[in-house]
Structure 1
């Protein structure tokens, strides 16, 4: 019997505070309750279900806000894992990439969706709230799809360029999401520093109503193309997307794990031409201390052999691009074994 629960994650601020308090600079972020529960530190989490089912392991997966792609995508991946391995996966709403990586590091989740740039920051000790603490148990499983920055304004706002956002109220991403760093990079590249605009911190799904009623002037969010909530907003409110000049997009891309990216005009009915922006990559990560090599191997195999069953409206990449954007993120040993068998070159 499959058992699924969803729960709102602890706020990223609280989670990061707790992690920083227990981290003490130790390699694995200090001892936690999981060490005692499993008899030894650093071993795979094995929670026996007993008479309730034939699963041998129960995993928590941190996803994202319910209005975005991560949450339903996490549900689809959870179904694949449950139907093709011995694991039970409880997928959770969360604050996004930063929150998810913090949960992996602290042992509150064993699987998580993340932007590749944020995960690279994490392994270098540059994660917001955990500065100078390298997250050394983050294991790459797979690159999933590109995520594009959307800069949305009302069509009647008079805002025609990113420079026009000076003095405006801009939703720059939720606390714990990977959107904020890219928002800052784009705004700074156009001469807008902190204080030149009013930053609104909110999940992007909430910002569509705020944009519609004029509470904010612009919303910046990173998500797979197309995103349903923007399509829904456009059905009731005339909106448009701001474009980044090609040379500026290329310059921003050189400064991090980003790529220049074109949102095709066919992606949204309200677009008349392609929009140049910045993209990162969505990826699936697993705890290398709480997900065994064998289970990670099974999860990786199950994902690639069944990814077409996921109904979320994004184009999941082919296995040949499974390691695109990995950068300095360690690959999980189980995933590495699978890719070696499949003839995929390991960076």
Structure 2
């Protein structure tokens, strides 16, 4: 079993239990146990499609999986859907941004035909292809990379009057580590592990940053991990009502995380938030857009990618400025390219 929630904007209230919803594990098993085995060299029928092809997709009812309503994915996803709807040259096209458990939830949704597009951190997307991490034993490969959205940065918030100086000092503390199955929680546990802290060494609250804000403000939490955009609106909101700081990672801690994951070192500049007085060392990954290979054919994928990148300047959300040609392929390493996006990138002269 894996729990579907991931990304920088995990909200505990929107976490979806994949197993209880006929998750990818159940889908795989049902496929393997069909009554009739396909003949040699014959491709199995695409069950549940009633013979539809990608070009037969209902372009008037496409779904974009985002994240929790209190995070970055959902409001940014809404704006992405709006600019695509307003500018795409496809008759009858309509794309709706829907809240979800974020990355893992969106990938599973695409695999089950419940979503056509999904926002995700690039690392769980890599795991889905190989059946690793939250997808252990379940390989999902019916999605393609359609572009970079923004970098997600692990930000660890602590009260300004705290005695905590390093992650190691969180031993015995109350810590919000993100919802079960989320990218935030996976990264938080890895960071804590880098400092010798395991389950039981701290009191873990499995909730997203949005849910943890009130606990920090009320003194019920000693720290909250959040894989968020930079700057993060939630942190600005919290700083308006509480004195907080960001906890910096040490060189040794970052090295451990880099050696055991795909995260990279990033320096959070001191001018990122008004309350910051010095730079903070952190880790980062990329939020990307994934598209279904089943319901979005090459032509439709091309039009969606083109509409998004050529009109991203109309996005008001601060992270919208990260959707540009210079960053377009960030996070694409190890992921299959959607043929429609690939055609657009080649046409636009976008290459690594």
TM-score between both structures, scaled by the size of structure 1 = 0.87
Preserved CA contact (<8 Å) 2:64 2:98: yes
User: What is the correspondence of 1:185-334 to structure 2 with a 5 Å cutoff?
Assistant: 185-314=190-319, 315-334=321-340
Task: Give 1:253 deviation, angstroms.
Answer: 2.2
C-alpha separation between the residues in 2 aligned to 1:107 and 1:15?
16
Preserved CA contact (<8 Å) 1:262 1:274: yes
Preserved CA contact (<8 Å) 2:245 2:275: yes
User: What is the correspondence of 1:98-117 to structure 2 with a 5 Å cutoff?
Assistant: 98-117=104-123
Task: Give 1:45 deviation, angstroms.
Answer: 5.5
- Who is 2:188 aligned against? 183
Unaligned stretches of 5+ residues in structure 2:
1-11, 33-42
**Structure 2 residue corresponding to 1:73, chosen from 71, 76, 81:** 76
Preserved CA contact (<8 Å) 2:258 2:264: yes
C-alpha separation between the residues in 2 aligned to 1:57 and 1:320?
31
Task: Give 1:247 deviation, angstroms.
Answer: 4.0
| TM-superposition CA deviations, 1:201-242 (whole Å, max 9, x none) | 112111100111122221001011111111111111111110
Preserved CA contact (<8 Å) 2:312 2:324: no
- Who is 1:53 aligned against? none
Task: Give 1:9 deviation, angstroms.
Answer: 9.2
C-alpha separation between the residues in 1 aligned to 2:144 and 2:127?
14
Q: How many residues align?
A: 326
Unaligned stretches of 5+ residues in structure 1:
1-7, 48-55
Preserved CA contact (<8 Å) 2:19 2:26: no
SS at match of 1:236: coil
- Who is 2:54 aligned against? 43
C-alpha separation between the residues in 1 aligned to 2:44 and 2:273?
44
C-alpha separation between the residues in 1 aligned to 2:28 and 2:55?
20
C-alpha separation between the residues in 2 aligned to 1:319 and 1:78?
19
Between stretches 63-72 and 335-344, larger displacement belongs to 335-344
| TM-superposition CA deviations, 1:175-197 (whole Å, max 9, x none) | 34321111111111111112211
C-alpha separation between the residues in 2 aligned to 1:243 and 1:127?
26
C-alpha separation between the residues in 2 aligned to 1:45 and 1:257?
37
TM-score between both structures, scaled by the size of structure 2 = 0.86
- Is the counterpart of residue 12 in structure 1 residue 16 in structure 2? yes
Between stretches 251-260 and 71-80, larger displacement belongs to 251-260
CA pair 247-98 structure 1, distance change in 2 beyond 3 A? same
